[in-house]
């Protein structure tokens, strides 16, 4: 018997019911549809189609399932088509990702999370062959290029008009970094990548971001509510990112204080198991291989924690190859479009970004740092005596042994 007219749902209720059904799938949705059809449409699939806009066949199937208790399985399989090459050969895919990462760089303007790599598909295929993978397991060159794109590594067109900025030792520096990095990893070193990002200005500034909200930024970025230089420390083995925001100048003392804070947060067992700390860093003015205050603080830190410290510098104009540069690109895309009006907002947005699925550890330092601190030549001679510089690359490869420690060969 049909329900009385006053039992029909209102327009608002119909909208709510349709919305609830749209959030369900499969047998769950059909059970809900059948229940609503029995309640409001006297079990008529035609009326349910007219009132709620549901497909009549789906309604009839749901009514049949409710009547018999037998749930119909979808004729479409859960997975269709062939598996991707990365799924069939996960070990080869991991090696391919490692090969691409060795040549990867972040896009300099940080407008994309995609990495660019100098590794071509043909070179990647040859390297995989050299690693022992059989011919039949390797895809064709065109397919391998698409796989590299899926993994997030794309070739980039060379800009012919770009001026050449390369020192004679650039290639040797990269070869040395790769060699020492592999050796230190085998020796159980804690490998980190360190860099300071451009100072973040607080205020209602757009910074070129996009938003779906109705926020309005100032038409001119004049004045600010404070500045915070960030120092990032990326653990290359675990993927854990630490961002240390300062409240003063970006100096050598600020960078070393950030490193000390990072070390103190590590679990005791992890610190005890560390045989050496390897730091990849660019040759910026606050942390270069000739910056007296930075080297003085690093030597003192090595003595404090009683661990050797190995500084590996990237050549000038090539800091984009430092692994942590990729993290800055993620952060920029994450918070662009948000108005960083105060310190709390900035820290909250930084904490919600992710790198390799892990949220960063975010600290705020309120220490005021003095600029321009440097050692006298006499004091620097004492520091220099503690530095074991690579004779071929003295400014780009520096090993520091703590006092009283045995010799450590890297």
For residue 348, the domain's CATH number is 3.30.420.10
Q: Do 138 and 195 lie in a common domain?
A: no
Q: Do 187 and 249 lie in a common domain?
A: yes
Q: What is the pLDDT of residue 50?
A: 86
Q: What is the pLDDT of residue 389?
A: 95
Q: Do 117 and 91 lie in a common domain?
A: yes
Q: Do 94 and 223 lie in a common domain?
A: no
Q: What is the mean pLDDT of residues 349-356?
A: 91
Domain presence at residue 121: yes
How many structural domains does the chain have?
3
Domain presence at residue 47: yes
Q: What is the mean pLDDT of residues 137-141?
A: 88
How confident is the prediction for the chain on average, in pLDDT?
A: 84
Q: Which ranges constitute the DSSP H helices of 166-315? A: 170-186, 252-265, 268-273, 292-305
Task: Please identify, among 68, 99, 115, the residue that sits at the C-terminal boundary of a domain.
Answer: 68
Domain presence at residue 353: yes
Domain presence at residue 107: yes
Determine contact, residues 343/202, Cβ cutoff 8 Å.
Answer: yes
Q: Do 178 and 299 lie in a common domain?
A: yes
* Beta strand pairing call for 277-281 and 190-196: parallel
Q: Do 61 and 117 lie in a common domain?
A: no
Q: Do 227 and 319 lie in a common domain?
A: yes
Q: In Å, how far from its chain's centre is CA 54?
A: 43
C-alpha to C-alpha distance for 36 and 30, rounded to whole angstroms: 10
Q: What is the pLDDT of residue 397?
A: 96
Q: 387: burial class by Cβ within 10 Å (0-12, 13-18, 19+)?
A: middle
Q: Do 363 and 224 lie in a common domain?
A: yes
Domain presence at residue 410: no
Q: Do 12 and 111 lie in a common domain?
A: no
Q: Do 364 and 284 lie in a common domain?
A: yes
Using the predicted structure, report yes or no on whether residue 132 has a pLDDT greater than 60. Answer: yes
Cβ neighbours, 10 Å, residue 324: 25
Determine contact, residues 180/397, Cβ cutoff 8 Å.
Answer: yes
Structural domain including 96 reads 86-154
Cβ neighbours, 10 Å, residue 267: 8
Using the predicted structure, report yes or no on whether residue 208 has a pLDDT greater than 90. Answer: no
Domain presence at residue 80: no
Cβ neighbours, 10 Å, residue 90: 10
Using the predicted structure, report yes or no on whether residue 390 has a pLDDT greater than 60. Answer: yes
Percent of the chain with pLDDT over 90: 41
Domain presence at residue 164: no
Q: What is the mean pLDDT of residues 273-285?
A: 92
Domain presence at residue 73: no
Q: Do 20 and 141 lie in a common domain?
A: no
Comparing CA positions, the residue from 29, 92, 93 lying closest to residue 65 is 29
Determine contact, residues 322/103, Cβ cutoff 8 Å.
Answer: no
Q: Do 230 and 263 lie in a common domain?
A: yes
């Amino acid at each position: 018997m049909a329900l009385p007219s006053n039992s029909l749902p209102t327009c608002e209720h119909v909208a709510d019911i349709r919305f609830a059904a749209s959030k369900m799938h499969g047998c769950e949705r059909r059970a809900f549809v059948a229940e609503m059809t029995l309640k409001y449409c006297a079990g008529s699939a035609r009326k349910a189609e007219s009132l709620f806009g549901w497909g009549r066949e789906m309604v009839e199937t749901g009514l049949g399932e409710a009547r018999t208790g037998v749930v119909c399985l979808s004729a479409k399989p859960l997975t269709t088509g062939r598996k991707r090459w990365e799924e069939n050969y996960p070990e080869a895919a991991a090696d391919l990702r490692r090969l691409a990462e060795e040549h990867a760089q972040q896009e300099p303007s940080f407008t994309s999370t995609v990495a660019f790599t100098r590794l071509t598909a043909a070179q990647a295929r040859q390297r995989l062959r050299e690693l022992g993978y059989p011919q039949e397991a390797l895809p064709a060159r065109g397919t391998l290029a698409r796989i590299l794109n899926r993994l997030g590594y794309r070739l980039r067109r060379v800009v012919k008009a770009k001026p050449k900025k390369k020192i004679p030792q650039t290639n040797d520096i990269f070869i040395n970094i790769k060699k020492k990095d592999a050796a230190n990893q085998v020796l159980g070193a804690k490998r980190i990548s360190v860099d300071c990002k451009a100072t973040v200005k607080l205020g209602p500034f757009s910074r070129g971001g996009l938003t779906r909200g109705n926020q309005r930024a100032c038409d001119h970025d004049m004045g600010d509510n404070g500045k915070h230089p960030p120092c990032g420390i990326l653990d290359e083995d675990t993927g854990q990112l630490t961002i240390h925001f300062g409240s003063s100048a970006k100096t050598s003392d600020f960078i070393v204080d950030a490193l000390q804070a990072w070390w103190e947060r590590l679990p005791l067992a992890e610190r005890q198991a560390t045989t050496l700390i390897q730091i990849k860093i660019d040759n910026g003015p606050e942390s270069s291989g000739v910056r007296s205050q930075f080297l003085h603080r690093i030597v003192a830190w090595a003595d404090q924690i009683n661990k050797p410290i190995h500084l590996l510098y990237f050549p000038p104009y090539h800091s984009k190859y430092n692994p942590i540069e990729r993290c800055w690109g993620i952060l920029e895309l994450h918070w662009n479009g948000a108005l960083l009006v105060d310190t709390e907002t900035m820290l909250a947005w930084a904490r919600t970004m992710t790198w390799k699925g892990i949220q960063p550890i975010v600290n705020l330092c309120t220490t005021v740092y003095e600029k321009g601190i440097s050692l006298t030549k006499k004091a620097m001679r004492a520091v220099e005596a503690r530095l074991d510089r690579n004779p071929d690359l003295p400014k780009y490869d520096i090993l520091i042994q703590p006092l009283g420690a045995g010799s450590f060969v890297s």
